[in-house]
Amino acid sequence: MEAGAGLRTPVRRTIAPGSRIRVMVVDDSVVIRRLVKHALTEDPSIEVVGAAANGAVAMQLIPQLNPDAITLDVEMPEMDGLETLIQLRKLYPALVVIMFSTLTARGAEVTIDALTHGANDYVTKAANVGSLDQSLEKLRSELVPKIRQFFAFSEAPRKRAVAAAPFRKAVTPRAVGIAVSTGGPAALASIIPQFPAAFPLPVLITQHMPPLFTRLLADRLQAGTRLKVSEAVHGQKIESGHIYVAPGDYHLRAARRGVHVQVELDQGPPENSCRPAADVMFRSMHDVWGGGVIAAVLTGMGHDGLRGAELLRHEGATVIAQDQESSVVWGMPGAVASAGLADAIVDLSEVVPEILKRV
């Protein structure tokens, strides 16, 4: 899985007072272009500066419109989203690109490709939502925050100065849990190959993604490692040297059943607006292994994983946070670090070496 392009961490651009985030909408559907424009212009911090029906037109308009961000449809005639993205990254490496994907096998596959080729994030298109108001609400609640997360306004600090927690002896680890969101597919593609073939612990991963996407993500990760990687299945035995990816729309829990630990999946209420949620996974790992866990919180928007990491560390678990410089969005790891829960705050490239040092 080639992830080099996807690992370019964008510099969070500061928007000057009185200015707005300039967005261009690229989609072959007139209806979608109008919906997206309408949803975005309702936010006072965003200005839609133009639109294009395909990638070829978009490439011509970018020098004229000078957007800060682009919403890019996956499926388009003449020049599709992935081809456009590859060209964009050659010419405009700092431009924020949010992919628009359908919840289909083809849409999910191309979106995973796009994320590993440098797309910053993605939104799934509303399908059969039933009304224009529902479509607009989905765009307001999902697309607007995903654009805003890559920008800072001048009154906000650009970087938090946070130190790792004081050293203390941790409990011997028996499992690894990884929480990740925005920027996750590229981050995981970078670190999973670093695990040795004889890694002696199970690894549970919660990546915020919808159904179908998580299965394809597991398949891509499998191609880069000699460990066994799979989308988690209910009732599956949790074994050493196996990586389990939480399936989209299901919480992943570890549960002790007799002498074995197994996967349990459920569709309980979302936590931190997420399902799967890292806090759910971390709590279950605490219930099974107590402090015998290494919890790694990687790039992502929001604070999912914070409460679970707090619970684990209280029992002697090790908590690792990705640093701000290598994170696409320093929300999740930043929350853990700012709360003083991180035993180590490290560059993405050092996450697995840090885990191996403590195993």
Catalytic residue numbers, as ranges: 181, 208, 304
Q: If you write DSSP's letter for every residue of 116-170 in order, what string do you get?
A: HTT--EEEEPP-S--SHHHHHHHIIIIIHHHHHTTEEETTS-S-----PPPP-PP
Pairwise CA distance, residues 351 & 359, whole Å: 13
Which has the closest alpha carbon to 250: 297, 286, 214?
Answer: 214
Q: How far is CA 316 from the centre of its chain?
A: 27
Q: If you write DSSP's letter for every residue of 239-281 in order, what string do you get?
A: -TTEEEEPPTTSEEEEEEETTEEEEEEE-PPPBTTBSS-HHHH
Pairwise CA distance, residues 48 & 108, whole Å: 26
CB 79 within 8 A of CB 72: no
